[in-house]
Structure 1
Amino acid sequence: MSALAETERPGSGRVLLVWGLLVVAANLRPALTGVGPVLDRVQADLGLAPAAAGLVNALPLLAFAAVSPVVPRLAARWGPERLLGIALGVLALGIAVRWFPAVGPLFAGTVLIGAGIAVGNVLLPSLIKRDFPASVGLLTSAYATVMGGVAAVASGLAVPIGEVAPGGWSTALGCWIVLAVAALALWLPQCGSPRALVEVRRPRLPWGSALAWAVTAFMGLQSLGFYVAVTWLPQVFQDGGMSAAAAGWLLFLFQAVAVLTGLAVPAVLRGARDQRAVSVACSLVVLVGYLGLLAVPGWAVLWSVLLGLGGGACLVLALAFLGLRAPDSAAAGALSAMAQSVGYLLAAVGPVLFGLLRSAGSGWQAPLALMCVTAAGQTIVAVVAGRGTVPHPDGRASA
């Protein structure tokens, strides 16, 4: 079925679908990355304890882990297009609920936001595999770039919006409902398409596949690295003698380099027989970045650039693996559900463990050594994750 997907739609329909996928991708991070810059104000205004404030950042990742495994079953029942439309509605509702400046709406809205984003995280690789099987790398890079670019903008605009808009930080968090509603409006035509009404095969998650576990480990370790970086790198830089403003700009540099690097990945993928060499090389760049930060912390700009270079490429590769390692769109959805449920659970643990190691010691050596170990582990699993096809769990021959 997927082999015919690119010819089943007229040109205008495929263009509308691509735009719909990219606008959906634009909604998968800003509601999350806009929280950190204003979290101190949220904590002060609502009287949150530090642990409760930390939960605001952890809840979406836990929602990803909880919701992702059930997405293939829900997609089989309702169709991926309609399920994604429902998820965008849930996301918009969560943003609206969180707009109210109170503790209950803050946490309830954050859970709804995490659930809506989790569905998008799982379904986008599956839809790309189904409708554009010959362009998995290109479209994955495009949506990862849009996702990362809007996320960086959200983190940069949160404080300025919170300072000038009525409602302060609540408006800074709530304004992203405009983007969610726009995505829902653009996606609604897909919900009524004939393909959305076709029954979808419900594959089991490939828990017994070693290759699926390698893809899952690669997804989880690169996600752990990203969330540790955006959570802790500014503090690492400040403790090294840098001002808070300069540390914030270095975090922006890290994210900007990561977004730009993702644009180059499709060209590399087109010229490679498999992805082992490029995924190992990019993981080694991340490892060098953390080793450098551990050994020569004064060269923070260089290490930020290296972490962005390696991390941006690894994100696109991790997302591309979900389609490249699967024989069809249904299997891609199952692999995506497995990789993102376990992967984001691992990502949620990373910043907490990094902080605990910092509290238990007298500096950043132990936490940064942990990141060196995780980057080395990512390099090892990249050798396995970079080639092959995950077999169908039901024993059917791969397409």
Structure 2
Amino acid sequence: MTATPDAPHGAPGDRRPAAPVRAVLASRRTRVLVAVGMVLVALNLRPAVSGLGPLLEEVRTGLGLSGAVLGVLTSVPALCFAVFGSLAPRLARRFGPLLVVVAAMAALAAGLALRAFAGGTAVFLLTTALALAGIAVGNVLMPVVVKRWFPDRVGTMTGLYSTALALGTSGAAALTVPLTQAAGGSWRFGLGVWALLALVAMLPFGAVLLRRRRTEAAAAGGAPADPSGAPADPSGAPAPAFRMSRSATAWALGVFFGLQATGAYVVIGWLAQIYRDSGLSAGTAGALMAVAMGVSIPLSFVLPRVAAALSHQGPLAAVLALSGLGGYTGLILAPTSVPVLWALLLGVSNCAFPLVLTMIGMRSRTGVGVAKLSAFVQSTGYLIAIPGPLLVGVLHDASGSWNPPLLMMCGLLVVQLAVGVLAGRHRFVEDGG
């Protein structure tokens, strides 16, 4: 006999899964959607920056940008990431991280699309800032999403979105020019087309939020749900009530983040020119740049998993810093002897980025704590990173040689190694460590 609607789920004849089974299946589907959303969001977190570089000369000519404005453009990403990223935890607490990330992708799409129609310097800078504001919020909240939905797979999921971020960075750098050429040489199309990817990234998280709303509507008398659609904080701990600025671990992570970001911006902005000034062709320099960026793609997936399995991530931070020291030393002593080795070493060193993201997720007990820590670390770090690429150019212009700025980078890596060892200790910021 077919079960009646009033029959208990799982009764004989009822072909529907029992309620607990349905809940598990729904939870798995939601986690899959969240994972897909994380990958798509991560793909969007750098094209607004890395896609601009290959078209900078065309944009400069098209808008009549001055050299001073171009200098501002090299520093504005770090500034926007620091300023707007600090707002993310407050927004996430009020509206939930997923809804805020969806809004951030909407801001990114709007900024990229409007930037393509900019007719002057002011509009171009403002729309770029709007796009970067969306990226800043996404930067801060990705570790929060991992902590809330995948508390048992922090390393694996951090590796997944770090790899997607690296793919988005290199993909935009490689594809923007061909896309521009396919559109008849229009730099506006080459920059604006990335808005479509941001719109696509809104869909999985939007689907999760809609599923949550339907579940609430179907559950009569249920308790109010988290506006994020997330499971309860896995720790069950209350929101941390402490000042992040009093935590030595938070400061160590912030300085570590800032120094690794400095290294990444210097490699992205100057490595190809260093090789060209050493006598290599533009094509060879570009290929070596691709090597430095490409090596981070597989390592970005593996490294967070290794870091999450260790009780102390300091040794990994030391290995990455020593790799960078080897790369910069090679550029100083013999830049053209084995240039691919120096590029590989610097690419490995830049994998400090997925490492610090993993440590952010491991240095707090709660999702709210991770949000506060992520905002503090990234805001502090990006402020530290602002002057680095500019100082490299100033030192080179003043000395006529790349050796002084490369020696400066070696000194910064020594500091990065020290603070990385401190940040890698098994501590929680809630404990005041």
TM-score (norm 2): 0.85
Counterpart CA distance in 2 for 1:289 and 1:205 is 38
* Alpha-carbon shift at residue 345 of structure 1 (Å): 1.6
Contact 1:68–1:119 under 8 Å retained in 2: yes
Select which of 321, 326, 330 maps to 1:283: 321
* Alpha-carbon shift at residue 54 of structure 1 (Å): 2.5
Instruction: Tell me the equivalent position of 2:245.
Output: 207
- Which residues of 2 match residues 56-205 of structure 1 at below 5 A? 56-103=73-120, 104-166=122-184, 168-192=186-210, 193=212, 194-196=225-227, 201=239
Instruction: Tell me the equivalent position of 2:339.
Output: 300
Over residues 267-311 of structure 1, what are the superposed CA-to-partner deviations in whole Å (9 max), with x where a residue is unaligned?
Answer: 423542221111211211111111111122113211001111222
* Alpha-carbon shift at residue 264 of structure 1 (Å): 2.2
Select which of 361, 365, 376 maps to 2:399: 361
1:26 aligns with 2:43: yes
- Which residues of 2 match residues 231-246 of structure 1 at below 5 A? 231-246=269-284
* Alpha-carbon shift at residue 16 of structure 1 (Å): 0.9
SS in 1 for 2:244: coil
- Which residues of 2 match residues 292-331 of structure 1 at below 5 A? 292-298=330-336, 299-312=338-351, 314-331=352-369
Aligned positions, number: 389
Instruction: Tell me the equivalent position of 2:372.
Output: 334
Q: Once structures 1 and 2 are overlaid, which stretch shifts more, 256-265 or 36-45? A: 256-265
Counterpart CA distance in 2 for 1:19 and 1:287 is 36
Q: Once structures 1 and 2 are overlaid, which stretch shifts more, 70-79 or 195-204? A: 195-204
Instruction: Tell me the equivalent position of 1:16.
Output: 33
Amino acid in structure 2 at the alignment position of 1:196: P
Counterpart CA distance in 2 for 1:300 and 1:133 is 41
Over residues 13-50 of structure 1, what are the superposed CA-to-partner deviations in whole Å (9 max), with x where a residue is unaligned?
Answer: 11111111111111111111000111011111211111
Q: Once structures 1 and 2 are overlaid, which stretch shifts more, 367-376 or 285-294? A: 285-294
1:228 to 1:268, Cα distance in 2 relative to 1, 3 A = same
SS in 2 for 1:274: coil
Instruction: Tell me the equivalent position of 2:12.
Output: none
Counterpart CA distance in 2 for 1:156 and 1:166 is 17
Counterpart CA distance in 2 for 1:143 and 1:344 is 20
1:202 to 1:35, Cα distance in 2 relative to 1, 3 A = farther
* Alpha-carbon shift at residue 263 of structure 1 (Å): 2.4
TM-score (norm 1): 0.92
- Which residues of 2 match residues 41-60 of structure 1 at below 5 A? 41-60=58-77
* Alpha-carbon shift at residue 56 of structure 1 (Å): 2.3
* Alpha-carbon shift at residue 158 of structure 1 (Å): 1.7
* Alpha-carbon shift at residue 323 of structure 1 (Å): 0.3
1:203 to 1:77, Cα distance in 2 relative to 1, 3 A = farther
Over residues 194-219 of structure 1, what are the superposed CA-to-partner deviations in whole Å (9 max), with x where a residue is unaligned?
Answer: 43258995866501111110111111
Counterpart CA distance in 1 for 2:241 and 2:395 is 40
* Alpha-carbon shift at residue 105 of structure 1 (Å): 3.0
Instruction: Tell me the equivalent position of 1:370.
Output: 408
* Alpha-carbon shift at residue 156 of structure 1 (Å): 0.9
Counterpart CA distance in 1 for 2:413 and 2:327 is 10
1:385 aligns with 2:423: yes
* Alpha-carbon shift at residue 266 of structure 1 (Å): 3.8
Counterpart CA distance in 2 for 1:101 and 1:248 is 29
1:191 to 1:348, Cα distance in 2 relative to 1, 3 A = farther
Contact 2:256–2:420 under 8 Å retained in 1: yes
Higher helix share: 1
Identity of aligned residues (%): 37
Counterpart CA distance in 2 for 1:83 and 1:202 is 21
* Structure 2 gap ranges (5+): 1-22, 213-224, 234-238
- Structure with the greater alpha carbon radius of gyration: 2
* Alpha-carbon shift at residue 365 of structure 1 (Å): 0.7
Contact 1:287–1:375 under 8 Å retained in 2: yes
Contact 1:203–1:334 under 8 Å retained in 2: no
1:205 to 1:142, Cα distance in 2 relative to 1, 3 A = farther
Counterpart CA distance in 1 for 2:293 and 2:167 is 8
* Structure 1 gap ranges (5+): 1-5
Contact 1:60–1:113 under 8 Å retained in 2: no
Contact 2:252–2:423 under 8 Å retained in 1: yes
1:9 to 1:385, Cα distance in 2 relative to 1, 3 A = farther
Amino acid in structure 1 at the alignment position of 2:357: L
Contact 1:190–1:196 under 8 Å retained in 2: no
SS in 1 for 2:321: helix
Q: Once structures 1 and 2 are overlaid, which stretch shifts more, 70-79 or 198-207? A: 198-207
